[in-house]
Amino acid sequence: MDVIYPRCAGLDVHAETIVACALWEEDGHIQKDIQTFSTFSKGLGDLLEWLEEHGVTHVAMESTGVYWKPVFAFLEGYVDLT
C-alpha cells in the first residue's frame, strides 16, 4: 500500500461514540492506533488531543444519519476533513 497522507485517521461516527483509527508510517511499516471516544464535548476534546498527539493532518469520516455534523463542526479548522 502506498501512503498518500503520511499521518491520517478514519472516524466511524455513531450517536454516542466515535471509533477512531490513526495510521502512519514508521521505519517503512504502517502503524495504527484505534481508540473509542464519546461524542460529548469532553470526548471531542480528547479526540482532538489524540489526533494532535499522532500528528494527524487528514481525517475521513463515515456516519449514518446526521451524527457526523457536530464532530465535523468541532474538528473543522484543526484538520482537513473528508
Contacts 24+ apart (CB under 8 A), 41-50: 43/17, 43/18, 44/70, 44/71, 44/74, 44/75, 47/11, 47/18, 47/20, 47/71, 47/75, 48/74, 48/75, 48/78, 50/20, 50/22
Q: Is the pTM of this model over 0.85?
A: yes
pLDDT tens digit sequence for 31-74: 999 999 999 999 999 999 999 999 999 999 998 899 999 999 99
| pLDDT score, position 82 | 83
| pLDDT score, position 6 | 85
Confirm whether 28 is domain-assigned: yes
Question: Which residue range is the domain that position 13 belongs to?
Answer: 9-35+52-81
User: Is the model's pLDDT at 78 over the cut of 60?
Assistant: yes
CB 60 within 8 A of CB 11: yes
Confirm whether 43 is domain-assigned: no
Confidence band of 2 (pLDDT split at 50, 70, 90): low
Distance of CA 1 to the CA centre of its chain: 20
In total, how many domains does the chain have?
A: 1
